[in-house]
Amino acid sequence: MTPDELADRLQELLRTELDDPDLEVGGLRRLTGGASRETWAFEAAGERFILQRERTGSPRTGAMATEASMLRAAADAGVPVPPLVSASGEPGTLGAGYLVSRFVEGETIARKILRDDEFAAARDRLAADCGRALAAIHRVPTDAVPGLERTDQVAQYRTVLDDFGDPHPTFEHAFRWLEANRPPSSGDAIVHGDFRLGNLMVGPDGLEAVIDWELAHIGDPMEDLGWLCTRAWRFGSDEPVAGVGPYDQLFDAYAAASGRPVDRDVVLWWEVLGTLKWGIMCIMQARAHLEGLSRSMELAAIGRRVCENEHDLLLLLEPDALAAAIARPAPTGGGAPGLHGRPTAAELLEAVREWVAGDVREQATGRVGFHSRVAENVLATLEREATMGPAMEADHTERLQSLGVADDLAFAAGVRDGSLSGDEVVRAMAESVVDKLRVANPRWIWQR
Please write down the HEC assignment for all residues of 329-369: CCCCCCCCCCCCCCCCHHHHHHHHHHHHHHHHHHHCCHHHH
From CA 216, how far away is CA 242, in angstroms rounded? 19
Angle between helices 247-258 and 222-229 (to 10 degrees): 160
Q: What is the pLDDT of residue 448?
A: 66
Work out the number of other CB atoms within 10 angstroms of the CB of residue 137: 26
Contacts of 358 (CB under 8 A, 6+ apart): none
Phi then psi for 217, rounded to 5 degrees?
Answer: -160, 175
Strands 25-30 and 217-219 turn out to be unpaired
* Helix runs in 33-94, H state only: 63-76
Beta strands in 2-46 (DSSP E): 25-30, 37-44
What pLDDT, on the 0 to 100 scale, is given for residue 34?
Answer: 58
Bond from prior residue into 82 cis (ω within 30 degrees of 0): no
Residue 177's Cβ-side half-sphere holds a number of Cα atoms within 13 Å equal to: 21
Residue among 316, 330, 327 nearest 395 (CA): 330
Question: Hey, what amino acid is at 260?
Answer: R
8 A C-beta contact, residue 431 and residue 393? no
Smallest Cα–Cα separation from 65: which of 40, 42, 99?
99
Q: Is the pTM of this model over 0.85?
A: yes
- Quick check: 192 and 81 in contact, CB under 8 A? no
Give the closest residue to 145 by CA, choosing from 201, 204, 89, 83.
89
What is the pLDDT at residue 35?
55
Task: Give the closest residue to 121 by CA, choosing from 200, 197, 202.
Answer: 202
Q: Domains, the chain, ranges and CATH? A: 3-102 (3.30.200.20), 110-284 (3.90.1200.10), 285-444 (no CATH)
Walk along the chain (448 residues) in steps of 10 and give the mean pLDDT of each run. 92 93 93 73 94 72 85 96 91 87 94 96 97 98 92 94 95 98 94 96 97 94 98 94 97 97 97 98 92 88 95 98 96 75 88 91 86 92 94 96 97 97 97 97 90
For residue 66, report the phi and psi dihedrals to the nearest 5 degrees. -65, -40
Which SS3 state, helix, strand or coil, does residue 124 take?
Answer: helix
Q: What 8-state DSSP symbol labels residue 206?
A: E
